[in-house]
Chain A
Amino acid sequence: MSADPPARAGASGSGLMLECAGVWKVFGDGASDLLAERAGAVTLEDLHTRGLIGAVRDASLRVREGEIFVIMGLSGSGKSTLVRCMSRLIEPSAGRILFDGEDLLGMPEKKLIELRRHEMGMVFQHFALLPHLNVLGNVAFPLEVQGMARREREGRAMEVIELVGLSGRERYYPRELSGGQQQRVGIARSLAVEPRIWFLDEPFSALDPLIRREMQDEFMRLQSMLRKTIVFITHDFDEAIRLADRIAIMKDGAIIQIGTPEELVTHPADDYVADFTREIPRAKVLSVRAVMGEPVESWAGEVRAKEKVQEVAAAVARGRAPFAVLDESGAVVGSLTREDIFRVLVGLETRA
């Protein structure tokens, strides 16, 4: 289902930032013995009979450089545990994790601290701001821990504070800020060290729906400027669809499917995934390429193949003739009719 390129471990610049292979996190006595003994071939029943809890079961995934990789699952699905394994906040019971080709799990404490100080940033669901520091102090904290001089780190912190739109509030204390503003501080703080990988653990779940929407837009604005490699955790499928380049869906600790939003909607791996995708407005997810027909002789206008149906729907529906579909190079690869738009909007089978 996933369109992963073959992994070239150890090669920086391969486009692969983080790789998890067969990662397990099992809570309970004797968990690692069981996993070692069975070489990872452990079922849910095995765990049940031994009174163990499999928070993450045999998770494998690859995060490419510069992509937004969303891990989506309901509460208790193990998504938070998995992201904590990726940063080694939680020690996995078994498996292999490579960060930029380097073995993360075998890394000595000192090197890990260096890695966290310079390469990783994390945003937390409940903000996790330090109550005794003001905005400036909070944002500068990761730099302070590195041992950066006050003037330098505060200068850098001011830049990031401006980036997230909190200029003028740098002397406020966390309790003086609204939830949305607090999370802006959390975001600024995690970006202060210019991390190469950016973990966001349900960053907008604690916010009101309107603020959440605003913060998602803000997040996309930042990402369009920064092009970070992102692992984003959410329990909200709409949010996943909105933000993701690719999505991994988790259930009971296992990854069920990895794919682009479009792949998940068009080819759900099972009923569980299909249940999520059913309510999703297709027009927002499907690209023109997924619903277009054969090229035709004359057309009323042009659309691009990678555009979402939603974006072109109004224009095509108003047109009297089919539209031509162009690929990146500008060549005509297909056509789009009012009927195609109509089928997507009412949820009928597309002719593709």
Chain B
Amino acid sequence: MSAPASRDRWLAAGLPRRYAIAWLVLLLVAIAVHLARGALPALATYPEPWFLPLRFWVSDLMKWLVNDFDLGLFTFQEMTRSIAWLLEWPLRAAQSLFAEGFSRGIGRDAEEIVPRIPWIALIVACALMGLSARGRGLAALVAGALLYLAVFGQWDSAMVTLASIVIAVPLGAGAGLLLGIAGFRSVRLERVLVPLLDLMQTVPIFAYLVPVLFLFGFGPVAAMVATIIYATPPMVRVTMLALRQVPADVVEFGRMAGCSRRQLLWKVLVPSARPSLMVGINQVIMLSLNMVIIASMIGAGGLGYDVLTSLKRLRIGDGVEAGLAITLLAIALDRLSQAFANRPPRAHRDTTPPFFRRHPFLIAATALLAVSWMAGSVLPGVQDYPETLEISTAQMWSDLIKWINVNFYDHLEAVKTWLLFHLLIPVKRFLTTVPWIAVVAAVAIAGHRLGGWRLAALTGSLALFMAVTGNWEKSMITVYLCGVSVLVASLIGIPVGIWAARNERVHRVVQVVIDTLQTLPSFVYLIPVVMLFRVGDFSAMIAVVAYAVAPAVRYTAHGLRQVPAQLIEAATAAGCTRRQTLWKVQFPIALPEIMLGINQTIMLALSMLVITALVGTRDLGQEVYIALTKADTGRGIVAGLCVAFIAIISDRLISAWVRRKKRELGLE
């Protein structure tokens, strides 16, 4: 009687038990390999003779591309250089317009024909844009941000940065739109595009700066190419998604009206998808700004260059000022583009008023520009913000930091030391001593558990890649830094998210804070961290946590808030306390959403980690950064791929888990 019943139970529990056994075996093997590392060193540490010289192959390929690849009529490098030449024209025009003024002649003989846009004109024009897109609040915000640039002497650098953005954004958005359309139309192309986009978004920026340098030369154009490469992928994704989300009957209507393919695309699909496409453009703007800062390393100049040099020379005050300038520019651009994206749709008018009545802001801005340009030649104060009125807070910031360091050094140092000894170093030591073969196996087993053989093969081979290419130790340090940072970010982010979900006022405040955090270019986070904690893993961790915490908060709050109200009512009716409702009802249902937030946090953490190479980490980011300084294409790309693969492994595992969990909860 009881025998078949117990067998049934065993069968029902068979799956988890099988995995429990697998994990146990793995643990024992790992311990055994570790103990026997004297006898079997190859299993503990991947042996050097087995390294695949991939980085040299990539470098050779790059050399061949640059030196020998001949397309018949011209060489590959001639092609890229002529693209660079083509791109240089609009960029130079924008630089002249915003930053330098148009001039004739070269060098010292240069003679200014038309000066750049007067500062007053630009500020008022942007404020008018804010006014027309949203209202007075936005106009004040934008004008205030730009005024800061003028008053604090950041105008020249900021205009160089702005000029790059003005050219990079339309190119990136346009290219993204066209690629997205192509991917939308052809399933086969989409199948190629999606993994490529995954890679482009996870390979760290520094890694492709080197090939871009080789192909496009050092300077603003190369920086812009890198910017476009970096900023385009989200637009491609958004375009494919937005076009696919156009309601089926709208598309059917277009076909029934007798639209040709082209008419269907440009008259029906794209206009219907416009609101979503605008979100994509906002993303392109923000990513371009982020990248332009980083691209200052390969000659973009501007605000990023200022921050970089002051960081290098430890001129703290200057760094803070330039960092604040980037921040304000980012906030202004973000809010402005969002306002245009979310602009309430047009309401009808009963008659069509004449042109100048329809576009009062445009007319006003144009008139102002003309007037101030003319007045500028007579009154230099209109043309350029008078230098005598410039204020510098650099000294104040330096003093402030000094004061903090003098008065709180011991406290800061105590926190740092405690965390280093109790969290960072133990995790690091553990991850770098675990035999590589055990980690690869663990990743594969997890893949099998969550997604079957295909996922196991993917995650296992990606992990193997890190060992085979000789990046194992650096990869493990990356995993350690990323893991610790994500842990800390979750410990902060999830409770804050819960708090925000349960309190409307907190929610509003938190929303503003994380919106701002997500607007800031990653570079900015380094400034305060370096000042307070100097260099090292701990500083890197703080910067990464600050940069990556936002999604953990946002997704937690969102997940908890979208639990159906009737479930909460049912829990209340069943006599749950608020605490019980949270832990027994809301949290389990929101868990998949929260995990998606953690997944985003991991992605952001990895992208920030590479930038923290500037504050002296020893992980893959440092490897990529060294490759950049030594112009070693292969080394940078292979290390960059390792970072990308860490991201892809964690993304695929978490996504598989979330899918399964959502199915179990009936949320799909």
- Chain A residues near B (Cβ < 8 Å): 84, 87, 89, 113-118, 120-122, 124-134, 141-142, 144-146, 171-173, 175-176, 199
Contact = CB atoms under 8 A, between A and B. Distances in A.
Given A130-B250, A145-B267, A122 B256 contact: yes
A128 B249 contact: yes
A321 B218 CA distance: 107
Contacts of A146: 258
A176 B349 CA distance: 12
Contact of B268 (A120, A125, A130): A130
A127 B272 CA distance: 14
A165 to B, nearest CB: 17
B358 to A, nearest CB: 14
Contacts of B256: 87, 89, 116, 120-122, 199
B350 interface: yes
B252 A89 contact: yes
Contacts of A87: 256
B348 A124 contact: no
22 contacts: A89-B255, A113-B260, A116-B257, A116-B258, A120-B256, A122-B252, A124-B249, A126-B249, A127-B249, A128-B247, A128-B250, A128-B253, A130-B268, A130-B271, A132-B271, A134-B348, A144-B267, A145-B258, A145-B259, A173-B345, A176-B347, A176-B348
A55 to B, nearest CB: 15
Given A130-B268, A145-B259, 12 more contacts: A89-B255, A117-B257, A120-B256, A122-B252, A124-B253, A126-B249, A128-B249, A132-B272, A142-B257, A145-B267, A175-B345, A199-B256
A120 B256 CA distance: 7
B263 interface: yes
Q: How many of chain B's residues touch chain A, expressed as a range?
A: 20 to 34
A82 to B, nearest CB: 14
B274 interface: yes
B263 A145 contact: yes
B346 interface: yes
A127 B252 CA distance: 11
Nearest to B274: A132
A156 B373 CA distance: 49
B258 A114 contact: yes
A202 to B, nearest CB: 11
B442 to A, nearest CB: 38
Given A171-B349, A173-B346, A116 B255 contact: yes
A171 B350 contact: yes
**Which of A116, A128, A171 lies at the interface centre, i.e. has the most chain B CB atoms within 10 A of its CB?**
A128
B93 to A, nearest CB: 32
Closest 4 CB pairs of A and B: A117-B258, A128-B249, A116-B258, A142-B257
B263 A125 contact: no
Interface in B244-298: 247, 249-250, 252-253, 255-260, 263, 267-268, 271-272, 274
A124 B272 CA distance: 16
A153 B259 CA distance: 16
A145 B260 CA distance: 8
A236 B174 CA distance: 47
A176 B350 CA distance: 13
A55 B247 CA distance: 21
Contacts of A141: 257, 267
A89 B252 CA distance: 7
B252 to A, nearest CB: 5
A130 B345 contact: no
- Of residues B247, B253, B267, B271, which shows the largest number of chain A Cβ atoms within 10 Å of its Cβ? B253
Contact of B247 (A113, A121, A126, A172): A126
A278 B203 CA distance: 68
Contacts of B260: 113
Nearest to A127: B249
A175 B344 CA distance: 11
Nearest to B252: A89
Most chain A CB inside 10 Å of its own CB: which residue of B247, B256, B267, B268? B256
B303 to A, nearest CB: 37
B188 to A, nearest CB: 18
Contacts of B272: 130-132
Interface in B215-264: 247, 249-250, 252-253, 255-260, 263
Nearest to B257: A142
A173 B257 contact: no
Nearest to A87: B256
A199 B260 CA distance: 20
B255 to A, nearest CB: 6
Contacts of A126: 247, 249
A55 B475 CA distance: 53
A145 B252 CA distance: 14
B258 A124 contact: no
A89 to B, nearest CB: 5
Contacts of B253: 122, 124, 128, 130
A101 B259 CA distance: 24
B345 A84 contact: no
A128 B252 contact: yes
Contacts of B268: 130
A125 B250 CA distance: 11
A213 to B, nearest CB: 23
A305 B348 CA distance: 52
A172 B274 CA distance: 19
B342 to A, nearest CB: 15
Contacts of B267: 141, 144-145
| Most interface-central of B257, B263, B274, B348 (chain A CB within 10 A) | B257
A127 B345 CA distance: 19
